[in-house]
Amino acid sequence: MKVIISATLRYFFGHTVEEEIQGDTINEVLANLIRKYPEAKKGLYDESGQLREFIRIFLNDSDVTEEAERLKTRIPEGATLQLLPLIAGGAPEDSLISEERRKAVNFDDRDIERFNKHLLLREIGVKGQKRIRAAKVVVVGAGALGSAVIQYLAAAGVGTIKIIDFDEVSVGNLQSQVIHSLRDVKRPKAASAKDTVRNIDRNIEVIAENKKLDAENAEELIEGFDLVIDCTDNYPARYILNDACILNGIPVVYGAIYQFEGIVTVFGYRDGPCLRCVFPAPPSPGLVPTCAEGGTISPLAGIVGSLQTSEALKLIMGIGEHLSGRLLTVDTLGLHSGIRKIHHNCSCPLCGDNPVISEVSDFDYEELCGLKENDEETPIEGLTPEELAHRIENQDPMTIIDVREPHERALQYFLGAIPIPIGQLARRKKELNPDVDTIIICREGKRSILAINTLREAGYQGPLYNLKGGVNAMKDIVFSIESGRL
């Protein structure tokens, strides 16, 4: 039968949430549970072998703790047993915040009024709220995810928030980056986010870092902080941040979004896995868009960012379950979510048994993923936007292949281009005419390099050209009405 173990007892059960235990009666199930988890005996029973008075046993929805006969009778099929102890509330001692720092926080009447909804929760209480106020959190990225994370951290009362982002606000950001407004366009995102936090709670210390996170500054930027929340949008930053946090013993709350889907997890907490344990290297271009934003529905960032903030607050207070060792997935289009187990990798080059990474270092993502030319490879010839425009105006014979994602093509259509995903190029090479030039286009001129290498490896012999800068670079090109392509 299924046995559900309350959070306050899970210490004795290896932090297990539920177990399938054999047994015909409740007594047999409990005995088999103790055999599997010997340490649980002292948590459930006193010295005389009696069930401790603060623990209740529920069979389905019925409290059967005092019903001796019912504990001996046969359990109905499909029943669920739950062990539920008395809960005192407050924050336990596995919080990221020490007792000394918590006790140093003082609340006045205005604080009591501001945080009354938290104070009413037994799991938080005054102790938990003081830990929140004592916490120091770094948020890397003040974009879509960062918008939700920063605002909810501030609303919850986190005492110190450092915001790291080197970008400026643009009109296109306002759809999902709700921490910014129209008046913030062209302002640094970090400064804009800081102003929003100050309007929520002026007692919060806000540190705005208008910097790009890199290998040289990563460790300095997170030094002295309790927790880091990864709201970045590119692979190099994610790996640099992961390495810096793991090497400095700081947990990372990771979140990512794409179109209608998102994921959340916690890396580097206690003996849990890090990013490199789960994803040793970033995905190859073409499998996941790397030189273009994949697009996301506006509320998704709020959903995933809120989940990241919830994980952060639980770690700060030391309450509830957390996502270390587990990956939460959310699909808002298909309306389903799930939790997948992820494991610490003993062979991880960063946190494994024999680590080889001892410092934070930059890595060339384009070289790693095959976007850069190798000296031993045939050089890839490229056309500038002006050169391609001239050929189009002259109606030169050529084939233009568009390897962008469908949603990218929908935003910026290129008339006359043949859409072929990179994964289909090898088997569809016969559709190309080797007697004329083939020009490969993508959004920024990077995936097209991979596409050309793919065709060469497949044995295609015709002339291939890459559009330098991609379709984005052609947006300012003016065509005649007759020959216009964009």
Residues carrying an active site annotation:
291, 442
Picking from 227, 411, 406, 445, the residue whose alpha carbon sits closest to that of residue 324 is 227
Residue type, 234: N
Other Cβ atoms closer than 10 A to 87: 12
The answer to whether 344 and 271 have CB atoms below 8 angstroms apart is yes
End-to-end CA distance of the chain: 63
Q: Nearest CA to 146 among 82, 90, 194?
A: 194
CB atoms under 10 Å from CB of 55, counted, come to 17
Which tokens belong to 240? Answer: 């640099």
Q: Are 162 and 139 in contact (CB under 8 A)?
A: yes
Residues 6+ apart with CB under 8 A from 76: none
User: Residue 445 gets which letter from DSSP?
Assistant: S
Computed on alpha carbons and rounded to an integer, the radius of gyration of the chain in Å comes to: 28
155, two tokens: 């609303």
Q: Is 164:115 a contact under the CB 8 Å cutoff?
A: no
- Look up residue 94 and give its two tokens: 């596995």
Residue 268 to residue 130: CA distance in whole angstroms: 24
Query: DSSP characters for 69-115?
Result: HHHHSBPPTT-EEEEEE----S--TT-SS-HHHHHT----HHHHHHT
Phi and psi at 260, nearest 5°, equal -115, 5
Of 204, 201, 206, 207, residue with least CA distance to 221: 207
